Amino acid sequence: MTTEELQAIQDKKEKAAEYDASQIQVLEGLEAVRMRPGMYIGSTSSEGLHHLVWEIVDNSIDEALAGFASHIEVFIEPDNSITVVDDGRGIPVDIQEKTGRPAVETVFTVLHAGGKFGGGGYKVSGGLHGVGSSVVNALSTQLDVTVFKQGQKYYQEYHRGVVGGDLAMIGETDPDHHGTTVHFTPDPTIFTETTEFDFQKLAKRVRELAFLNRGLRISITDKRLEEAESLHYHYEGGIQSYVEYLNEEKPVLFEPAIFTEGEMDEITVEVAMQYTGSYHSMVLSFANNISTHEGGTHEQGFRTALTRVINNYAKSNKLLKENEENLTGDDVREGLTAVISVKHPNPQFEGQTKTKLGNSEVSGIVNKLFSEEFGTFLLENPQVAKRIVEKGILASKARIAAKRAREVTRKKSGLEISNLPGKLADCSSNDPKQTEIFIVEGDSAGGSAKSGRNREFQAILPIRGKILNVEKASMEKILANEEIRSLFTAMGTGFGADFDVTKARYQKLVIMTDADVDGAHIRTLLLTLFYRYMRPVVEAGYVYIAQPPIYGVKLGDKITYIQPGVNQETELQEAIVNMTTSKRKPIVQRYKGLGEMDDHQLWETTMDPEHRTMAQVSVEDAAEADQIFDMLMGDRVEPRRDFIEANAQYSTIDI
C-alpha cells in the first residue's frame, strides 16, 4: 500500500469518527427537545400539537414569499397525521461541505437549522417560537420528506428524530415537477392530552395566512371524514380583502378598503383600513405573519400617522378650524377596522405573551410610509376624506358629551363590591389566583352547581337566560341591567373608565351553559359583553368555557362520560362495548342541558379541576363572538335569518 492510500484510509476513518461525533450531538439536541418539549413549542397541549403544523407550513410560506412556490396544501390524514405539500424549489438535497450530509437531512435533524441555504432573502415566517422543522421531527413518531427536483424524487424518513436511512432517490419525476412534501405523525407519548387535530382551528389560520400573503393559494383538507372536506383560500387583495371580510356584515363608510404598502430598510409595511358605522375599532397587527395581540412599534407608528394625517387634512381643508382642538387618537379610530402587516428580517417579540413587536426603528418607518400613502389617498379622494374627517368630528363631540355623562354615572353606578349581588354564592378564599367564578345558565343548573362545587375556591353566579343586547344599549342602560350589574360587581373590576383588571376577584371566569343552541347564544352574548366591556379580562386569559359531557354511559353505579367532539359517536360506541357484560347492557343518557346532571355529576364532569376540560377564550374567540353578534343584532336581516335557520331550529330565544 502506498502512503497516499494509507493516508486516504486514515482520512476516511477520521471523517467517519467526526460523523459519529456529530450524530451524537444531533441526538443529544433532539433528545433535549423530547425531554422538554414545552420549551420549544410552548406546551404539549392541543396548542402545541397545532403548532407543529405551522412550524412546517411556515417553510412553504417562506418559499412562496421568495416567489418560488404558489400552492400549498395541508391535509389532515385519516390517522390524524399531517401532510404539507408545496410546489417550491424543493429543499436542497446536495451534500453540505460542513456536515458531509445532504442539506435536507440537516434541516430535519439539527436544531435551529432551516431556511437559508444561500438562497438569498430572509426567513419571514418561523413561527412564534421559530425553532425549525427538527423540533417537529423530534416530536413525531414518524416524519418523512419527499423532494421533487430536477426530474428526481428523493425520500428520507425519521423516527422520533432518528434518521431511518440515507436520503434515497426513489424514482424519476416530470422535470417540471418541483416541490417538497412533508408528512408527520405527532408522538402520542409527547402529546398525551390529545393528538386530534381541529379542522376549524387549522382552517382559520390557513385563511389568515392567505389574507396575509396576497396571491398565495393555500388549502386545507380533512381526510378523516367519509367524504373529505376541503377549503381553498386565495385573496388577490391580501389584507385589503381581510378588512373587507371583517366588515362584511357592517355598514361601511366607503368601498373598497384603503390599501397602502411600502418598503424601507428591508422592512415591508402593508396597511389596509376601512371605517364602519359602529363605535368600536378593530386594529389587527401582524409581524412576519404572526399576530401581535399586544401591539408594538408598528401599531404605534400607524396610530401616530393616522391621527396626524387626518388632523392635517382637516385643518388644511377647513373641515376643522385653526383654533379648534385636534381630533384625538380615539376620535379618529372610532369605527375603524384596520390590518397592519409588517415583514422584518429580524423581528423582536416582547411582552407577556411575546406578541408585541419591539423593534424601535419600526414605528418611524411605518409612520413615514403610511403617512405618505394615506396623505396622498386623502388628496386624491376628497369625498372619502370628508367622510373620515366628519366621522372623527362626530366622535370627538360624542367623547366630550360622554365624558360629562360618565362623571355623573361614575358617582351613582354603585358597582362597589361592598354590595355583592344576592344571587352570588361566593367562595371562602379571597386569593384571586386560586378562585373561580362560574357563570351558570338558569337557576336550576345554578342550584346543582352551588351544591356540587368546592366552596373553598369556586363561586357560582346563576344568570337568567337572556342578557342584554349590549350592542344597542346605552352605557346607562347597561349599568341598569340586573344580570350585568351582578357580573361586574362580583368581578370587582369596576366599569367603563374605572375598569381595572388588577382588581379582579377571580382569575378564572367560567361560562357554563347548556350544550344546545340557546346555550351557544347565551355564550355568544356573554363573550360579546366581555369583549366590549371587560376586554382586559379576556386578554389576561381569565375567561374559560366549561365543557360538560354530551353522553353518560351507565351500568349500575359505574358511569363513563363522553365529551363532545368529532369522535363523540365512536367514543360512545366504544364505551358501550367496553361496559357491556354477558348479562347486562349499559344505559346511554344524552345530556341536553346542565340541568340533567345532578350536583355530584356536574362536579365530577365539568367543575372538578382534576377531571374537567375547559377551553380558554382568546381575544380572537371573543372578537369572533362579537362579529357573530354584530351579524345577529345588526340592521341587515338576511344574514341573521340565514344564521338562525342554519343553527337555531329549536331556539326559544327571539333574536
Task: Please report, as ranges, the residues that interact with ligand TTJ according to CB under 6 A.
Answer: 56, 59-60, 63, 84, 86, 88-89, 91-92, 107, 117, 119, 133, 180, 182
Residue from 196, 516, 608, 621 carrying the catalytic annotation: 516
- Can 166 be counted among the known catalytic residues? no
Nearest approach, Cβ of residue 624 and ligand TTJ (Å): 28
Q: Burial, 325: exposed, middle or buried (Cβ in 10 Å; 0-12, 13-18, 19+)?
A: exposed
Nearest approach, Cβ of residue 178 and ligand TTJ (Å): 9
Identify which of residues 121 and 237 has a Cβ nearer to ligand TTJ in the complex: 121
Identify which of residues 177 and 466 has a Cβ nearer to ligand TTJ in the complex: 177
- Can 174 be counted among the known catalytic residues? no
- Can 598 be counted among the known catalytic residues? no
Nearest approach, Cβ of residue 345 and ligand TTJ (Å): 16
Identify which of residues 76 and 623 has a Cβ nearer to ligand TTJ in the complex: 76
Annotated binding site for Mg(2+), which residues?
Answer: 441, 514, 516
Cell 384571586 belongs to residue: 432
C-alpha cell at 256: 373598497
Residue from 55, 144, 514, 604 carrying the catalytic annotation: 514
Nearest approach, Cβ of residue 544 and ligand TTJ (Å): 34
How far apart CA 69 and CA 209 sit, in angstroms, is 14
Identify which of residues 117 and 499 has a Cβ nearer to ligand TTJ in the complex: 117
Identify which of residues 101 and 523 has a Cβ nearer to ligand TTJ in the complex: 101
Annotated binding site, which residues?
Answer: 441, 514, 516
Measured CA angle at 551 (ends 550, 556), to 5 deg: 150
How far apart CA 591 and CA 515 sit, in angstroms, is 8
Of 136, 13, 26, 15, the residue nearest 84 (C-alpha): 136
Please name every residue paired with 252 in a beta bridge, in sequence order, or none if there are none: 276
DSSP 503: G
Of 40, 17, 18, the residue nearest 29 (C-alpha): 40
Q: Report the phi/psi class of residue 289: left, alpha or beta, with left for phi > 0 and alpha for psi in -120 to 50.
A: left
What are 285-288's contacts with CB under 8 Å, separation 24+? 285/339, 285/340, 285/341, 285/342, 285/357, 286/212, 286/339, 286/340, 286/341, 286/342, 287/341, 287/342, 287/343, 287/344, 287/347, 287/349, 287/357, 288/124, 288/125, 288/126, 288/342, 288/343, 288/344, 288/347
- Can 516 be counted among the known catalytic residues? yes
Residue from 518, 604, 626, 630 carrying the catalytic annotation: 518
Nearest approach, Cβ of residue 131 and ligand TTJ (Å): 12
Nearest approach, Cβ of residue 68 and ligand TTJ (Å): 7
Identify which of residues 288 and 307 has a Cβ nearer to ligand TTJ in the complex: 288
Question: How many Cα neighbours within 13 Å face the side chain of 128?
Answer: 22
Cell 412562496 belongs to residue: 64
C-alpha cell at 379: 388628496
C-alpha cell at 541: 386569559
Number of Cβ within a 10 Å radius of residue 553: 24
Nearest approach, Cβ of residue 90 and ligand TTJ (Å): 6
Identify which of residues 57 and 388 has a Cβ nearer to ligand TTJ in the complex: 57
- Dihedral through CA 90, CA 91, CA 96, CA 99, nearest 10? -160
Of 537, 36, 129, the residue nearest 355 (C-alpha): 129
Measured CA angle at 179 (ends 173, 185), to 5 deg: 105
Residue from 441, 571, 604, 630 carrying the catalytic annotation: 441
Catalytic machinery residues? 441, 514, 516, 518
